[in-house]
A and B are shown apart, each in its own frame.
Chain A
Amino acid sequence: MSQSLSTSVAQKLKEKVRHLWSFPGGIHLSGKKSLSNHQPITTAQTPKQLIIPLSQHIGQPADPIVKVGDKVLKGQVIGYASGSVSAPVHASCSGTVTAIEERLIPHPSGLSALCVVIDTDGYDQWIKCSPLIGDSSDSDDTLYQTISDLSSHQISDQIANAGIVGLGGALYPAAAKLRTAERMQTDTLIINAAECEPYITCDDILIQRRPEEVILGILLMKKVVGAKKCLIGIEDNKPEAYKALLNSLRGYNNTHTEAQIEVIQVPTRYPAGGEKQLIQMLTGREVPTQGLPMNIGIICHNVTTAVAVYHAVYRGEPLISRIVTITGGAVKQPQNMEVPLGTPIRDILNQAGLNKDKVEKIIMGGPMMGFALPSIDTPVTKATNCILVSEKGELATPPPAMPCIRCARCSDVCPMSLLPQQMYWYAKARDLEKVQDYNIFDCIECGCCSYACPSNIPLVQYYRYAKTEIWDDERERNKSNIARDRHEFRKERLEKAKAAKAEAARLRKEKLAKKKALDAEKAKQEKEKSSTPSDETKAVASSSADLIQEAIARSKAKKAQQQSQKKNTDNLTEAQQKKIDEINERRRNRSSSEKTEE
C-alpha cells in the first residue's frame, strides 16, 4: 500500500519535473472534438464494391498481381510493392475482381489513378493469417511468445508485408523508415498522439478504446529501431486517452525500469502535432532544414501506425482498414468508424447520415490541412483520417483577398520561423530561385499564416503552387538535359557517318588514281620498250612477233579449212548433191538479177 503510494507520488513528481520546450508561432483553434470523441468506434457495413487504389503511399505504386475475374479473400495481396520505397496493397473484403482501371481518387487534383475494383461477396472470408507472436494458449510451436524472442528483421519484414505506411498523413512506408532509423542508430522513438487539427478524433478514440494495442505496437517499433527512449506526445485536450495510456503503461514501466515509455501531455496549440513541432516540444531539438528527424537521432511515428504494427505482428493482419472520423455540423451522428480501405466515401456518409439541407463542403482531413473532395465516389484510403461535412457558416469561406499590408502576423504564427510574406511575394512573381532562398521546402503547409492573414490571402496555396512549380521546373530541366545529350549524340553520330562516308570515297578515289597511275606507267614502259628496245628485248620482241604471226597463220589456215570442208557434206548421195547444186545455181541467178535491178 505504502509502496504503491510512494511510486505514484514519485510518478507525479516526475510529471512535474518533466521540462517541456516550446515551438515558435502556432495558433489556438476551437477543437470541435467533442462532436465525435465520446461515441464508441462503429464498424462500417461491408460495401457492395471496393475501389482500392494501387498507390496509397509515397513512392512507386504497387504492381497489381490479380486479374479481372479472380476471387480474392480478405487480406490477400492484390498488389506487390515495386521498389524499395513502396508498399503492398491487400483486399479489404473477400469478393471478385471486376476491374483494374483508372478511377477517381481522393486527391486535390481530382485526377484518376489505377485501382483494383472488387465486388464483395458478403462472406468476409479471411485468408490464412500468419502472426509472429501467439497467445500462450496457442498450440502452434512456430509462434514466439514475447517480443524479445523476435529479431528486428522479422518484425520489419512483417510490417513491410502488411503494407503499413505512416498513417499520420505522410504515407511513407513504415518498414523502410524503421530500417533507416535502425541503420542510423536512432535512440529516441517519439509517438505522435497530439492530433492537433480541429474535428479529428480518430487517434484519440483509438487510444481510449485500445490502449494495450497502442503500447504493444510501440514496443514492437522500439524493438526494430533499437531505441533507448520512447516518448508519447499527446495534447492536453485528450485527458481520457492520456489516462488510458498511463494505466496500460503502468505494468510495463514497473518491470522495465531502464527503458521507460513516457507519456507527455503537451499544451494544445495548433500545429503541435506537426512532426518537427512535437520533437521540438518534447526534446528541445530542432530538425535541421531539409533534414530528417533521424539526423538528430529521433524517429517519429503516429499512434495509428503503432496499432497497425500490433495487428500485423500479433494477428498477422495486413493494413486493410482504418478508423475514420466522420464529423461536421451536417452529419447526423458524428462518430469514428472502422472502415475497410476502398469503401466509397458515399457509403460511410450514408451510414452516418447527412442533414441534406445543411451540407456545404465535404473535406477529407481537417479544416486546416484538408482538401475538398473532388467527388464522394472516391474511396477511403490509408490517408483518410477524417471526412468533414460542414454546414453553412461552419467553415467560413474567406472573403476575396485584399492586398498584403505587411502586418507580419503570418511570420508571428509560422511554426517553422519562416517569412511567409516574402515567400508570398516571390511565389506570386514566380521567382522560384528566390522563394527557395527563403526555405520554402521547410514549410509544412499547416495553414497558420492563411488563418492569421487579415487580408485573407490564400498564402498556403501560393506555397503549394510554388513547390509544385519548382518540382516541375526541375523535371523540365532534367528532360531538356537528356534531350540535349541525345541531340548532341545524334549530331556526333551523323558527323561520324558522314566522315566515314567521305573517308570511303577518298579511299576509292585514291585506289582509282593509283590504278590509273599504274596503268599509265605500264603504258609508258611499253612505249619506252617499243621506242628504244635493247638487244635482249628486241630478240624477245621479234620472237613474240614471230609467234603472233604464226598464230595468225594457223588460225587463217584453220578458217580456210573450215570453210572448204562442210561438216555434213562428206557423204552425200548423188541426188542430194544435185539438189544442192540446183539451189546454189538459183541463188546465184537471183543475186545477179537483184544486182541488175539495182
Chain B
Amino acid sequence: MLSGIIALIVLASFFGMVLGLAAVVFKVESSPVVEQIDALLPQTQCGQCSFAGCRPYAEAIAAGEAQINLCPPGGENLVQSLADLLDVEVLPLGEDEAVVQGPIVAVIIEETCIGCTLCIQACPVDAILGAAKQMHTVIESECTGCELCIAPCPVDCIEMIPVKQTLKNWRWPEPQYNANNREAESIFTTIDHVLAENSRP
C-alpha cells in the first residue's frame, strides 16, 4: 500500500519535473495576438476606427473591446483576414465606410503653403518635409493617405489624390463572365479608327 503510494508520488514528481523542464527548454515563442492583428492592419494610423492608431486598435480588438469592421482603409479583405485569424464572424463594413476607393496620397499645393508646420506635427509617419515659414512637401512614397494633415492646415492647401497607376502597380482585373464581350467592343472602336484611316486617299 505505502510502497505503491510512494512509487506513484515519485513517478508523478519525476514526470512533473520532466514536463516542467521541457516547457522551459522547448518553449515556443508565439507572437501574441496583438502583434498578429497589428501585422494585418494597414498602418495608415488614420484613426478612423476611433482609436489613436493601428496598434491601439489592435489592442482593443485583442481585448474584445472593438469590432473587427472599423477599418475603412483595410476594407473587406482586412475584415476577412481578421475574422480568419480570430475565428469570428465576418462583419460587413459600416455604412459610411463602405465607400470603396483606391489608394490615395496627400499632395501639398506649394503656392498656397504658408509654412506653418501644423501638418508636419499631424503626420503620424513623418512623411511631410519642411520647416517654419518654408514650403512643405509630402514624401509620396511614405504617405499612407490617412488624411490627418488636412484638418490642421489653416489655408486648405492639402489635397488627396489617387495613386497613379503604372506598369509596376497595375493589376489584372478580376475576370467577369462577360469580360470577353466587353473586350471585343473596345477593339471594335479601334478598328473603326483603322478603317477610317485606311479609307483616306
Which of A's residues lie within 8 Å of B, judged by CB? Answer: 55, 107-109, 111, 113, 346, 349-350, 354, 356, 359-362, 372-376, 397-398, 400-401, 430, 458, 461-462, 464-465, 467-469, 471-472, 475-476, 479-484, 486-487, 489-490
Across-interface contacts of A401 in B (CB, < 8 A): 177
A361 to B187, CA, bound (A): 6
Q: Are A400 and B177 in contact (CB under 8 A)?
A: yes
What is the chain B residue whose CB lies nearest that of A53?
Answer: B167
What A residues does B43 contact at CB under 8 A? 479-481, 483-484, 487
28 chain-A/chain-B pairs, Cβ below 8 angstroms? A113-B167, A349-B194, A350-B197, A350-B198, A354-B195, A359-B191, A360-B184, A360-B187, A360-B191, A362-B194, A372-B186, A373-B190, A398-B180, A400-B177, A400-B178, A458-B175, A461-B179, A467-B172, A475-B169, A479-B43, A479-B144, A484-B38, A484-B54, A487-B54, A487-B124, A487-B125, A489-B126, A490-B126
B31 at the interface (CB under 8 A from A): no
Q: Contacts A400-B178, A464-B172, A476-B42 given: A376-B125 contact, CB under 8 Å?
A: no
In the complex, which residue of chain B has the Cβ closest to the Cβ of A476? B42
Complex contact B183–A468 (CB within 8 A): no
Q: How long is the Cα–Cα vector from A350 to B190 in the complex, in angstroms?
A: 14
Q: Tell me if B3 is interfacial: C-beta within 8 Å of chain A.
A: no
Please name all residues of chain B whose beta carbon is closer than 8 Å to the beta carbon of A479 when the two chains form the complex.
43, 144
Interface residue B41 (Cβ < 8 Å from any Cβ of A)? yes
How far, in angstroms, from A349 to B169 measured CA to CA in the complex?
Answer: 31
Q: Considering the chains assembled together, what is the distance between the CA atoms of A487 and B122 in angstroms?
A: 12
List of A residues within 8 angstroms of B101 by Cβ: none
Q: Contact check: which of A109, A111, A376, A480 meets B41 at CB < 8 Å?
A: A480
Interface residues of B in 148-184 (CB under 8 A from A): 165-167, 169-175, 177-181, 183-184
A464 to B179 alpha-carbon distance, docked (Å): 14
**Which partner residue on chain B sits nearest A390 by CB separation?**
B187
Assess the B44–A483 pair: CB atoms within 8 A: yes
Indicate whether A397 sits within 8 Å of B184 (C-beta atoms), given known contacts A376-B194, A468-B172, A486-B142.
yes
Question: Which of B77, B166, B199 contacts A430 (CB under 8 A)?
Answer: B77
Do A359 and B178 form a contact, CB below 8 Å, given A376-B190, A486-B125?
Answer: no
Given contacts A397-B180, A487-B43, are A472 and B194 in contact (CB under 8 A)?
no
Nearest residue (CB) in A for B103 is: A476
Interface residues, chain B, with chain A CB atoms under 8 Å away: 38, 41-45, 53-54, 77, 124-127, 142, 144, 165-167, 169-175, 177-181, 183-184, 186-187, 190-191, 193-195, 197-199
A360 CB contacts on chain B under 8 angstroms: 184, 187, 191
Residues of A near B195 (CB, < 8 A) are 354, 356, 359
Specify the chain A residue showing the minimal Cβ separation from B142.
A486
Cβ contacts under 8 Å, A111 to chain B: 165-167, 170
Partner of A109, one of B45, B167, B178, B199: B167
A125 to chain B, nearest CB (A): 29
Residue of B whose beta carbon sits closest to that of A430: B77
Set of chain B residues within 8 Å of A107, measured between Cβ atoms = 167
CA separation between A111 and B173, bound complex, in Å?
Answer: 14
B53 and A487 contact, CB distance less than 8 A: yes
Residue pair B54, A362 in contact (C-beta under 8 Å) = no
Q: How near does chain B come to A94, taking the closest CB pair, in angstroms?
A: 26
Interface SS, B side: loop
Contacts of B193 in A (CB 8 A): 375-376
Once the chains are docked, how many angstroms separate the CA of A361 from the CA of B182? 12
Known contacts A397-B184, A430-B77; is-contact A472 B144 (Cβ 8 Å): no
Across the interface, which residues of A come within 8 angstroms of B126, CB to CB?
486, 489-490
A464 to B193, CA, bound (A): 30
CA distance A489 to B125 in the complex (A): 8
A380–B129 Cα distance when bound, in Å, is 42
Write out the residue numbers on chain A whose beta carbons fall within 8 Å of the beta carbon of B125: 483, 486-487, 490
* Complex CA distance for A109 and B172, rounded to whole angstroms: 8
**A430 vs B186: C-alpha distance when bound (angstroms):** 27
Complex Cα–Cα for A33 and B137 (A): 57
Quick one: which of A372, A430, A465 contacts B172, CB cutoff 8 A?
A465
Find out whether the CB atom of A472 lies under 8 angstroms from the CB atom of B45: no
Closest to B41 in A: A480
Q: Contacts A109-B170, A481-B43, A483-B45 hold; do A490 and B124 have CB atoms under 8 A apart?
A: yes
Q: A108-B172, A465-B175 are in contact. List 8 more A-B contacts (CB 8 A).
A: A361-B187, A397-B180, A401-B177, A430-B77, A461-B172, A462-B175, A483-B144, A484-B38
With A111-B166, A360-B184, A397-B180 in contact, is A468–B171 under 8 Å at CB?
Answer: yes
In the docked arrangement, what's the CA distance between A397 and B126, Å?
Answer: 52
Give the complex CA separation of A479 and B171 in angstroms: 17
Contacts of A469 in B (CB 8 A): 171
Partner of A458, one of B54, B170, B179: B179
Cβ contacts under 8 Å, B183 to chain A: 372
Query: B191: which of A362, A476, A490 is its contact (CB, 8 Å)?
Result: A362
Distance from B26 Cβ to chain A, minimum over Cβ atoms (Å): 27
Distance from A458 Cβ to chain B, minimum over Cβ atoms (Å) = 5
Q: How far, in whole Å, are A8 and B126 apart by their CA atoms in the complex?
A: 76
A402 CB to nearest B CB, Å: 9
B142 and A483: CB pair below 8 A? yes
Bound CA–CA A346/B200 (angstroms): 14
- Indicate the member of B166, B170, B180 with the most A CB atoms within 10 Å: B180
List residues of chain B with CB within 8 A of the CB of A359: 191, 194-195
Nearest CB in chain B: distance from A344 CB, A: 11
Give B49 Cβ to nearest chain A Cβ, in Å.
Answer: 15
| A55 to B170 alpha-carbon distance, docked (Å) | 15
Shortest Cβ gap from A216 to chain B (Å): 35
B191 surroundings in chain A (CB, below 8 A): 359-360, 362
Q: List A contacts of B178 (CB < 8 A).
A: 400
Q: Is A354 within 8 A of B167, CB to CB?
A: no
Closest B residue to A477 using CB positions: B39
The answer to whether A372 and B187 have CB atoms under 8 Å apart is: yes
Whether A346 pairs with B187 at a CB distance below 8 angstroms is no
Residues on A with C-beta less than 8 A from B169 are 472, 475
CA distance in complex: A360, B181 (Å): 12
Q: Which residues of A contact B187 (CB under 8 A)?
A: 360-362, 372-373
The 6 A-B pairs of least Cβ separation, nearest first, read: A480-B43, A483-B43, A468-B171, A461-B175, A486-B125, A464-B172
- B103–chain A nearest beta-carbon distance, Å: 8
Contacts of B166 on A, CB cut-off 8 Å?
A: 111, 113
Q: Which residues of B contact A362 (CB under 8 A)?
A: 187, 190-191, 194
Identify the interface centre among A375, A469, A484: most chain B CB within 10 Å of its CB. A484
B198: which A residues are within 8 A, CB to CB? 350, 354, 356
